[in-house]
Amino acid sequence: MDLIGWVIFIVALLFSVMLHETGHFVLAKRFGMKVTRYFVGFGPTLWSTRRGETEYGIKALPLGGFVKIVGMHSLDDPEDPADEPRSFRRKPAWQRIAVLCAGSFMHFLLAFLLIFGLALGVGIATDNTTQLGTISPCVAESSTALANGTCTKSDPASPAKQAGLRVGDTVTAFDGKPVSNWTQLGNAIRDSSPGSQVTITVRRDGRPVTLHTTLASISGRSGAYLGIAPAVLFQVPNPLRAVSYAGSTFGQVVTGSARAVAALPAALPKLFSKDRSSTPAGQVGSVVGAAEATGAAVAANVGWQYKVSFVLLLIASLNIFVGLVNMLPLLPMDGGHVAVIIYERIRAWLARLRGRPDPGLVDMAKLLPVSFSLFMVIIVVSVLLVLADVVNPVNLGGG
């Protein structure tokens, strides 16, 4: 099942790459630019075919893809001078910017459709329910052990286990007070005194069952401890609610991606530390870590809804992250080329105000050192993240 998860992730990644390049390709064609190559991957060519003026193919290394548009940069000269009028650089600035942004737009569109389809096809996950999804077997010796889900032979049985609670039970009352969601139930447990005896009323197989137990406490954790966690339920919304969910989830991923990028400088020194999971380094990872997470989710002993939800949200999040990073105003990313075009237009506008001729295109040869330096930084950071995910993976376990 781990292998199936890897295959799913790799196929999704290649599809995302193809979609990104298709965005550039379609819009460039739409604006009359000459596109000579459309390839997935880098390195030696495994297969290619020519249709009209464009060569389509697959390279040996599935690490990205590219579309070759004539005159994409000021350094590029068309093989045939007759192609110059159709070159990228001869088109209006807004068309060039649109073509550059089209790749990230396709990532964003795919992510939104995945989240929207997930809501309508599988449902929106909620854990604000009193149905039990986990019964802890013990009272962990500390909050750290609780977070890691570890028990020792000397740890006493949890109050939930002693009471006889079962996965699938729905708690309807705690110590005589009705509860209808996890917020109410969790607050009621935490507000109780450790060591106090309580009654728990549950609905089991359609019948009410009353159970009794004594609450415990865990070192480093405030409030009483019972040893339960809610089940994750999936509810299919109407289309309007699905759109709202997709929009809000998209926004949350954007915010999370921004935090991850901002935390990257602080995360790098901790990538290979033993406590990586509890540091900023635990919030960043590579495609290897994402593929591992996909494989673990597919292999997990959980319902199909959770598996599909996890995988689709992971793929959507990856597309949003890639789309955002690609639009950063840094060369060699598309956003860097957009910044260059905007600079050209501002420079041309200032020249007109002074009665001077348009300075024309930016000399990209002067920007090559900057572009190469940033490209090497991206490569080094990517390699470090991959190595960290291989030799020091993030512990995704929970309690």
Q: Exposed (0-12), middle (13-18) or buried (19+): which is 269, by Cβ within 10 Å? A: exposed
Sequence-distant (≥ 6) Cβ neighbours of residue 179 within 8 angstroms: 130, 171, 172, 173, 185, 188
Which of 21, 53, 79, 141 is flagged as catalytic?
A: 21
Q: What is the C-alpha to C-alpha distance for residues 87 and 73, in angstroms, rounded to an integer? A: 9
Mark whether 21 is an active-site residue: yes
Q: What is the dihedral of CA 367, 371, 373, 377, to 10 degrees?
A: 160
- Helix, strand, coil percentages (3-state) for the chain, rounded to 5, are 55, 20, 25
Closest CA to 347 of 331, 359, 335: 359
Distances (CA, A) of 68 to 26, 33, 55: 12, 10, 9
Q: What is the C-alpha to C-alpha distance for residues 371 and 301, in angstroms, rounded to an integer? A: 46
Sequence-distant (≥ 6) Cβ neighbours of residue 314 within 8 angstroms: 9, 290, 293, 294, 297
Is 219:143 a contact under the CB 8 Å cutoff? yes
For 344, the 3-state DSSP assignment is helix
Q: What is the C-alpha to C-alpha distance for residues 137 and 216, in angstroms, rounded to an integer? A: 13
Identify the H or E element spanning 389. Answer: helix 364-391
Q: Mutual orientation of helices 304-326 and 93-121 as an angle, nearest 10°?
A: 170
- Report the catalytic residues: 21
